[in-house]
Amino acid sequence: MSVIVPDEVLTATRMTEAEMRQEIAVMLFQKEKLTLAQASRFAGMHRVAFQHLLASRQIPVHYGVEDFDRDLKNLREIGRL
């Protein structure tokens, strides 16, 4: 699915397309609709950069046991653990 944001909306908000994507990603992450990985991909940012963006806005990162287990599994698969 694609969402088209009219240029007039970007102009009215004084945002670039990238900034709009970041704002939407932050909002969806904050509402727990997207995971950190999903939100950072949507924003077009590396996960660490997205975490810095969240931190600059004092938005806590939701990192639960499931996230930790998934990260451990991924690290094992790539041979880093």
Give residue-wise pLDDT tens across range 19-57.
999 999 999 999 989 988 899 999 999 989 999 999 999
What is each CA distance from 31 to 25, 76, 78, 81, in whole angstroms? 10, 30, 31, 32
Q: Is residue 64's pLDDT more than 80?
A: no
Asked if residue 42 is part of any domain, the answer here is: yes
- Does residue 2 belong to any structural domain of this protein? no
Q: Domain for residue 30, yes or no?
A: yes
Confirm whether 12 is domain-assigned.
yes
Residue 61, CA distances (Å) to 4, 48, 50 in order: 28, 11, 10
Which pLDDT does position 20 carry in this prediction? 95
Q: What is the pTM of this model?
A: 0.74
Task: Provide the residue range defining the domain that includes 28.
Answer: 7-77
Domain count, the chain: 1
**Which pLDDT does position 52 carry in this prediction?**
95
Q: Is residue 1 part of a domain?
A: no
